[in-house]
């Protein structure tokens, strides 16, 4: 194999193993910034040695061992007075781990817990939402700074600064590298789920740019969600989020036409919906319900949203959609997590179940909501209701306002077509 081919293979292996490697090293050094540096050191060592010796049978174990040796060297060099005894103790602990004959078993046994710790640390509420997203994609997703910047249409230096500041904040705040327990678990888990779903939504309906979707982000969020579901099998909201993402992503091939322009839900060719993803999503929903029942917990927001998505997924034709059930689920969701956006979605469901006038009454009540002042979907939804009621001039004004608020070029094109339809209608 040529050296260039070997280097490409090594980089591919490292990308697969990176999250597990950083997670395992962070457990030792208790600093994810340092752990990432050690992982990079292990990669450099591999790039130097593997072209001569060949890629080992278990490259992940080799990289972990190399990283742990680097960790020992670093700890020995960093004998600060106030941490001397602690560092020597951890030094002996690491030496003991490395002397174990079955290193591969050790890594496999602990990798799940380590990844879970890394998720909770990367998504710690002490960080801003933007920082949590960037750090999670960097450490757990293995995306480069350039890839993250391109996905979110943000300058690369901005993403780089977010990641650096996030790692510095975690170190300065001495955030423990662990899985929270007790009352803290719910809050921290909520932060992890929020980050994963933010990544998914940015891929599913991009807030800006020329593309309506960025499937790579959806796939990365799904991968993280599936990992989390296996690491935290007794958390119904985790399975609920996985179900929601599987069901929503099942529509991806039907959401755009040949030119990349959006096709709205009710106009989609449902034969293009991915039945494998739908089956996986329904199975995850069933699993979420079962876990929630066993814990005697009421359905949470992700489980409820997954149930709504399941109503759409199970309707073979748009006219078969059970809008009454969807409206009822939105009412429960609004009670569990009161939100103007949930109310807007409920208005859409009620308009489909009872007619546009009923939906418009609910949407009108949201016009004074400060958080929706610049939310383009409020005037877009109102415009649709008004159009269906034959109030075309008012509808046109709403579509024009929505077009002025969105930063996505594809969505602007859809709204331009709606505006044109209003002007053509007598």
In the chain, pLDDT over 90 holds for what percent of residues? 57
Instruction: Summarize pLDDT for 340-349 with one digit per residue, the tens.
Output: 999 999 999 9
Instruction: Summarize pLDDT for 330-374 with one digit per residue, the tens.
Output: 999 999 999 999 999 999 999 999 999 999 999 999 999 999 999
Q: Which domain holds residue 30?
A: 1-109
pTM: predicted TM-score of the whole model, two decimal places: 0.82
Q: Note whether residue 26 is domain-resident.
A: yes
- Residues 218, 208, 128, 112, Cα dihedral to 10°: 10
Inform me whether the pLDDT recorded for 415 exceeds 80: yes
Q: DSSP 3-state assignment of 392?
A: helix
In the chain, pLDDT over 70 holds for what percent of residues? 89
Q: Note whether residue 69 is domain-resident.
A: yes
Instruction: Summarize pLDDT for 121-163 with one digit per residue, the tens.
Output: 999 999 999 999 999 989 988 888 988 887 787 899 999 999 9
> Burial, 67: exposed, middle or buried (Cβ in 10 Å; 0-12, 13-18, 19+)?
buried
Q: Note whether residue 181 is domain-resident.
A: no
Inform me whether the pLDDT recorded for 108 exceeds 50: no
Q: Note whether residue 35 is domain-resident.
A: yes
Q: Note whether residue 354 is domain-resident.
A: no
Q: Note whether residue 124 is domain-resident.
A: no
Nearest alpha carbon to residue 31 among 215, 190, 172, 225: 172
User: What is the reported pLDDT for 107?
Assistant: 39
Q: Note whether residue 277 is domain-resident.
A: no
Q: Note whether residue 85 is domain-resident.
A: yes
User: What is the reported pLDDT for 90?
Assistant: 58
Counting the structural domains of the chain, the total is 1
Instruction: Summarize pLDDT for 166-220 with one digit per residue, the tens.
Output: 999 999 999 988 888 877 888 889 999 999 999 999 888 877 776 767 888 899 9
User: What is the reported pLDDT for 317?
Assistant: 95
Consecutive H or E run containing 408: strand 407-408
């Amino acid at each position: 194999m040529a050296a260039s081919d070997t280097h490409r293979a090594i980089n591919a292996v490292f990308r697969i193993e990176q999250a597990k490697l950083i997670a395992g090293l962070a457990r030792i050094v208790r600093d994810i910034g340092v752990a990432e540096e050690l992982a990079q050191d292990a990669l450099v060592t591999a790039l130097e040695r593997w072209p001569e010796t060949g890629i080992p049978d278990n490259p992940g174990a080799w990289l972990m061992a190399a990283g742990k040796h680097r960790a020992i060297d670093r700890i020995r060099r960093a004998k600060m007075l106030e941490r001397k005894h602690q560092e020597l103790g951890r030094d002996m602990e690491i030496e003991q781990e490395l002397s174990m004959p079955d290193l591969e078993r050790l890594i496999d046994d602990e990798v799940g817990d380590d990844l879970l710790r890394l998720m909770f640390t990367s998504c710690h509420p002490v960080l801003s939402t933007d920082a949590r997203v960037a750090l999670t994609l960097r450490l757990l997703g293995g995306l480069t700074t350039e890839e993250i910047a391109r996905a979110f249409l943000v300058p690369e230096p901005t993403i780089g600064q977010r990641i650096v500041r996030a790692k510095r904040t975690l170190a300065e705040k001495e955030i423990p590298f662990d899985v929270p327990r007790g009352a803290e678990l719910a809050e921290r888990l909520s932060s992890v789920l929020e980050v994963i779903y933010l990544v998914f939504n940015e891929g599913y309906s991009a807030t800006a740019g020329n593309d309506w979707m960025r499937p790579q982000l959806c796939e990365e969020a799904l991968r993280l969600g599936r990992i989390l579901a296996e690491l935290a099998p007794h958390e119904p909201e985790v399975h609920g989020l996985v179900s929601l993402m599987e069901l929503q992503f099942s529509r991806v091939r039907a959401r755009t036409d040949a030119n990349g322009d959006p096709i709205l839900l009710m106009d989609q060719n449902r034969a293009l919906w991915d039945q494998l993803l739908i089956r996986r999503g329904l199975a995850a929903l069933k699993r979420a319900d079962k876990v929630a029942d066993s814990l005697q917990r009421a359905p949470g927001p992700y489980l409820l949203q997954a149930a709504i998505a399941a109503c759409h997924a199970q309707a073979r034709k748009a006219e078969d959609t059970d809008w009454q059930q969807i409206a009822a689920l939105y009412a429960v969701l609004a009670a569990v997590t009161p939100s103007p956006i949930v109310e807007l979605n409920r208005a859409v469901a009620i308009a489909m179940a009872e007619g546009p006038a009923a939906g418009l009454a609910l949407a009108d009540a949201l016009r004074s909501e400060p958080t929706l002042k610049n939310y383009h979907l409020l005037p877009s939804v109102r415009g649709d209701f008004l159009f269906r009621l034959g109030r075309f001039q008012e509808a046109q004004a709403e579509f024009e306002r929505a077009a002025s608020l969105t930063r996505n070029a594809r969505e602007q094109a859809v709204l331009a077509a709606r505006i044109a339809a209003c002007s053509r209608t007598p």
